[in-house]
Structure 1
Amino acid sequence: MPSNFSTQNKQKLIFAGTPEFAAEHLKGLIAAGHEIALVLTQPDARVGRGRKTKPTPVKAVAIEHDIPVLQPESLKNNDEVLDQIKSINPEFMIVVAYGLLIPKAFLDAPVQGCLNVHGSILPRWRGAAPVQRAIESMDAESGVCVMQMDVGLDTGPVRHQINLPIERQTSAELLDQLAVIGVDSLLEVLEAPESFPPVAQPEEGVTYAHKIHKSEKTIDWTLAAKALDAKVRALQPWPSVMVENESYAFKILEAQPAVNGASSEPGTIIAVDAKGIEVAAGDGSERLLIQKIQVSGGKPVNVKDFLNGKPDYFQKGQSLKPSAGENE
């Protein structure tokens, strides 16, 4: 079912979500003709060096469409928000990457409960960062589940599931693909809920996708080149793997395993040319080819183009060390 279709079963809904992935689902519901009576999203965050407040992507969409917005710091014992939801009497509350725990009283408030769109093949990768952990773990596939929520952490029965192969996507690219699938899946379930009965998740195969932390940007060159490649892609766009040579720190934005060679100290630059920066990894015989970087304070650039302006920036034999440089 294409995401630009107009639903025949228009419903009154409440939407709870925060990041861009969630905002795409809110846009899809609005475009399909559903009535979004209220939006819940996390409080505005302070971003950038000036620490100015910025609305969440979901809030920005809600404001554009004149939808009322609430931004509670917590829903625990929050009778004021609960009473507003009850007064609206929505058919469903749709939850997509909201980021707050939802108490049972809130789950029970809508007529047909709460539906959650989750970016993994449940029960694998329950939790906050399913897409990043799937890529980092070199899973063969990811997917989207539309789940009937219960009080557990992503433990509810699944009503709709679509799988998607993981090839060489970054987390940002895979999230974009899953957002399209997620919107279509959600609209299908809302169009005919009775056609998608809840099915309990398997008891085996449960894993948890813990939140991504800034500290994970550090690199361990003794990991296999394939694992390093996966980590680089998993941590895009944030926090990005960071390394440094004798002079500067930089983000590794694109890399891939290269042909093995003679053993060298992991982290040592083996070659620098138009193809990229070849670095020893794993047991020292493996190679990671860095193809795109971003020097602190600079813009993303292909290594080939970077070397045209600074041919001596990287040298064979240099050691690239983990960096504690700040992320923007």
Structure 2
Amino acid sequence: MGTPDFAVPSLKKIIEKHSVKAVFTQPDRPKGRGKKLAMSPVKEVAIEHNIPVFQPEKLKNELDTIKMLQEMKPDFIIVVAFGQILPEDVLKAPRYACINLHASLLPRYRGAAPINWAIINGEKKAGVTTMLMEKGLDTGDMLQKFQTDVSEDMTFEELHDILKEEGAELLLKTMEDYAAGKITPIKQNDAESNYAPLLKKDTGKINWNDSADKIHNLVRGLYPAPSAYTNYNDSVMKIHSTKIVDMSTNKEPGLIEEVNNDGILVSTGKGKLLITAVQFPGKKLMSVKDYIKGNNIEKGIFLR
């Protein structure tokens, strides 16, 4: 059971080693400018391998589908970013367990956007956790973990791509070790938990009163999408890449201090930030060096 690109390596690894009887994924959704219905990345892989695909709008409401799933008598139900809460009848269906791969070091960052929020909050470590599923949201007993360092310039995209591959390996190992009785599940300490909510459009709105490092973390945590943004005059300027230049400034936050081939130097609540890649409405993502060849960014303007 899974939907986005993050779940694809896990499905492929399980197909290599085991017999997959069914794939559950979210219904096809409108995508792109033409709003044509598009299948999920997980569905594409399932079709390539001739695996039956089920796309319940809400699995808990589809009693015939749940009954069919129970009759399959699976050894495991594996869940990776499926996007639905599983009803109790489904949780009890497999011979061994329902196992979820979650993209955080639980109990930290339960919820929908753990990788984004780990970077936005400036975490130095991140990872994935396999866990037993229960009725709560990412609250089940932990099985195994993979941990990696997060560098100060690592983006969501880079960390996502590391964790989806390492997560697939961990999931396969967890299945084998659990079936062999080699894992003792560990309860999560709720007191250590926090929540990684869905990203909203205003999550990316930059507050220039924040410090340079906090804004830098926001930019890299939302790259490539939905992206951090600010207003330059009357235009929305998406900011895709930044560097922390130094931690001293006596200028008002949001002031463009310099514009050159290196980027746009902006004062913040603490320190200066160099914007190195931008995107304006109707235009492609461009380095500042390329953008200012044919467009003007004025020194002395305030970003809002």
User: TM-score, normalised to structure 2's length?
Assistant: 0.95
Q: Please list, as runs of the form range in 1=range in 2, the aligned pairs for 1:1-328 lying within 5 A after superposition.
A: 16-30=1-15, 32-167=16-151, 168-193=153-178, 194-246=181-233, 248-282=235-269, 286-310=271-295, 313-321=296-304
Unmatched tracts of structure 2, length 5 or more: none
Aligned length: 301
Q: In the alignment, is the contact (CA less than 8 A) between 1:17 and 1:98 conserved in 2? A: yes
In the TM superposition, what whole-angstrom CA distance separates every residue of 1:84-125 from its partner, at most 9, and x where no partner exists? 211211100000011111111111111112000001111011
SS of the residue aligned with 2:192? coil
In the TM superposition, what whole-angstrom CA distance separates every residue of 1:193-221 from its partner, at most 9, and x where no partner exists? 22222111224311011111122121111
Q: Which moved more, 1:54-63 or 1:188-197?
A: 188-197
Q: In the alignment, is the contact (CA less than 8 A) between 2:27 and 2:56 conserved in 1? A: yes
Runs of 4+, deviation exceeding 3 Å: none
Alpha-carbon deviation of 1:247?
5.2
Alpha-carbon deviation of 1:47?
1.7
1 CA distance for matches of 2:87 and 2:70? 14
2 CA distance for matches of 1:217 and 1:208? 18
Unmatched tracts of structure 1, length 5 or more: 1-15, 322-328
Alpha-carbon deviation of 1:78?
2.1
In the TM superposition, what whole-angstrom CA distance separates every residue of 1:247-297 from its partner, at most 9, and x where no partner exists? 5322111112112444222111011111110111115xx211101112222
1 CA distance for matches of 2:155 and 2:14? 26
SS of the residue aligned with 1:156? coil
1 CA distance for matches of 2:199 and 2:132? 25
In the TM superposition, what whole-angstrom CA distance separates every residue of 1:169-209 from its partner, at most 9, and x where no partner exists? 21111111001110110111122322222111224311011
Change (3 A) 1:35 1:197: same
RMSD, aligned α-carbons: 1.4
Q: In the alignment, is the contact (CA less than 8 A) between 1:22 and 1:96 conserved in 2? A: yes
1 CA distance for matches of 2:269 and 2:249? 12
User: TM-score, normalised to structure 1's length?
Assistant: 0.88
SS of the residue aligned with 1:192? helix
Alpha-carbon deviation of 1:305?
2.0
